[in-house]
Amino acid sequence: MKPQEYPIHMDCQKDEIAPLVIMPGDPLRAKYIAEKFLTDAKLVTDVRNMYGYTGYYHNQRITVMAHGMGMPSASIYLFELFYYYQVEKVIRIGTCGVITPDVKVPELILSDRIYSESNFAYQYNGYRGSIVYPSANLVEKIKNTAEKQGKKLHIGTTMTTDVFGPYVDIDAILNRIPEGINPIVEEMEAFAVCHVANSFKKEAACIFTAVDSKFSEDVISPEERERSLDEMITLALDSII
């Protein structure tokens, strides 16, 4: 089925969206990023309170667009950005749960591949694989930027689920994973973000901040959470320009 002429979930002119996009899940985090890190930021879309802002970061035009929770929500906004607004590069920034003792809260993680047992990609366009890959170019840029900034960055496989990990038996899911996958974190959107981008032959990558771990009872303070999220945000912004 051919999409309609205009987007349904975003309401702005084509030139109001930049070709470079940072995507948090939370609309209020998009607002926070725009207000704290961008200059001349303007709210360009707020359909269903899913905020999108366009402004400048180091004189480079950037859009910050929220995508909501879960693969169906994220895929809607990725599709509209690529199909209607001709976006070229996207970096998803989000929080995740840790499923290896090697990663501590609140360290940073970069996906170099994404595994999911979901049927999302098959329903989206018939893709039957369980693994998708982010843009190798963006992954390399993020790695180099983190090194220049002196930021510790774990790199490995992300597992994307259809359920919120802390509310289910995550070990039952982990026990079903084929040998050799070895995910280090779990979250709910990265597989869709990269699959939609790959389907459009565009670039996408995913960076996370670890906020909980099955191996630790550590709970980060609001101040630590903001500082660690700011490190992720600046890494994404500096990597995409």
pTM of the shown model: 0.96
User: Which pLDDT belongs to residue 1?
Assistant: 60
Residue 5, in any domain of the structure: no
Residue 3, in any domain of the structure: no
d(CA 95, CA 105): 10
User: Which pLDDT belongs to residue 214?
Assistant: 85
Which residue, chain included where needed, has tokens 């973000």?
Answer: 193
Q: Which residues, 6 or more positions from 141, have their beta carbon under 8 angstroms from its beta carbon?
A: 239, 240
Catalytic residue among 212, 218, 230, 238: 212
Q: What are phi and psi of 45, to 5 degrees?
A: -155, 140
Please state the domain count of the chain: 1
Residue 4, in any domain of the structure: no
User: Which pLDDT belongs to residue 28?
Assistant: 94
Residue 8, in any domain of the structure: no
Contact between residue 212 and residue 97 where contact means Cβ atoms under 8 Å apart = yes
Contact between residue 67 and residue 189 where contact means Cβ atoms under 8 Å apart = yes
Residue 31, in any domain of the structure: yes
User: Which pLDDT belongs to residue 81?
Assistant: 98
> CATH no. for residue 132?
3.40.50.1580
User: Which pLDDT belongs to residue 218?
Assistant: 75
Residue 6, in any domain of the structure: no
Question: What would the two tokens of residue 56 be?
Answer: 């400048």
Question: What would the two tokens of residue 236 be?
Answer: 């994404």
User: Which pLDDT belongs to residue 220?
Assistant: 72
Contact between residue 96 and residue 109 where contact means Cβ atoms under 8 Å apart = yes
Residue 78, in any domain of the structure: yes
Task: Examine the residue annotation and report whether 212 is marked as an active-site residue of this protein.
Answer: yes
User: Which pLDDT belongs to residue 127?
Assistant: 98
Contact between residue 111 and residue 160 where contact means Cβ atoms under 8 Å apart = no
User: Which pLDDT belongs to residue 217?
Assistant: 81
d(CA 54, CA 44): 7
> Which residue range is the domain that position 106 belongs to?
14-240
Residue 147, in any domain of the structure: yes
pLDDT tens, N- to C-terminus, the chain (241 residues): 678 889 999 999 999 999 999 999 999 999 999 999 999 999 999 999 999 999 999 999 999 999 999 999 999 999 999 999 999 999 999 999 999 999 999 999 999 999 999 999 999 999 999 999 999 999 999 999 999 999 999 999 999 999 999 999 999 999 999 999 999 999 999 999 999 999 999 999 999 999 999 888 877 777 777 778 999 999 999 999 9
**DSSP string for residues in the chain:** -PPPSS-SS--S-GGGS-SEEEEES-HHHHHHHHHHH-EEEEEEE-GGG--EEEEEETTEEEEEE---SSHHHHHHHHHHHHHHH---EEEEEEEEEE-STTS-TT-EEEEEEEE---SHHHHHH----SEE---HHHHHHHHHHHHHHT--EEEEEEEE-SS-GGGS-HHHHHHHSPTT--EEEEESSHHHHHHHHHHTT-EEEEEEEEEEETTB-----HHHHHHHHHHHHHHHHHHH-
